[in-house]
Amino acid sequence: MIDITYDVRADANGKDPDSHSATLRRYHKLLWSKPLPNGADFTLSATRPGTYLHHHSDLGEFFLASDSVMQTFSRWELTKHLVSQLPEVDITTFQTLGYTIGGMMIFPGNRVDAKMTINGARGFTRRIADRFDLTLECIRRHYDGQHSPLTDVLARYRDFFALFEDFPGYVDFFLLDDLVTPDGRDIRFFMPFDDFVFPAVPRDVASYMEFRRRSMCFMEARNRRILNWCEWQRSP
């Protein structure tokens, strides 16, 4: 059903897997077409021209796009001097795991008032630096009515986040449990959290290796959780 070891770059023909991997789109459709916390079906369609995944019902209309959310910083100018000191295999394994389904999410892909999407804002906002742990903290604060560096962009898609009712509902739906503490109140950050102080990137080799370790642990755990969910779905 879903191969949690599959590198979605394999069928993207050298292009961006988020838009060109048919396998990734199929995986997203299979995983996220399911009942919402209120019991309503959130069925996704991959047949609307020009749209990655689409939902239209009494719940509203949603245009969704894939996002490879796990940043490795292997190509960032700020971290090139760190990455160059590491064995190439350490970077390659990090990147490969990031292109499995455990490193993928969907977010609304339509622009509202010609402004940035969530995907764009994550990468453009220096205090987030494309990190998914910091993005999830912003989403947690969105549900709690607190300010974050992504307050404005998340508010533009409030109807999407309302589908999941609250932060625990969002975490449960997207199988993100391994990135939050057991009580669901806090994020398990990939680096010590400094309340979004810039720069949000590793500053030395030791901090990069710890960032890598925590990131990979999360992706491996989420892949297992995805596999378990798929097996549960198939059970009688």
Distance, CA of 22 to CA of 11 (rounded, Å): 7
Show Cβ contacts of residue 36 under 8 Å, excluding neighbours closer than 6 positions: 42, 59, 163, 164, 165, 169, 173
The answer to whether position 69 is within a domain reads yes
The answer to whether position 174 is within a domain reads yes
Q: How many domains does the chain have?
A: 1
**pTM of this prediction?**
0.96
The answer to whether position 3 is within a domain reads no
Assess whether pLDDT exceeds 80 at residue 235.
no
The answer to whether position 32 is within a domain reads yes
| For range 90-103, the mean pLDDT | 98
Which residues span the domain enclosing 72? 8-234
The full length of the chain comes to: 236
DSSP β-ladder status, 41-42 and 53-57: unpaired
With cut-offs at 50, 70 and 90, classify the pLDDT of residue 236: low
158: number of CA atoms within 13 Å, CB side?
Answer: 9
The answer to whether position 2 is within a domain reads no
Assess whether pLDDT exceeds 80 at residue 150.
yes
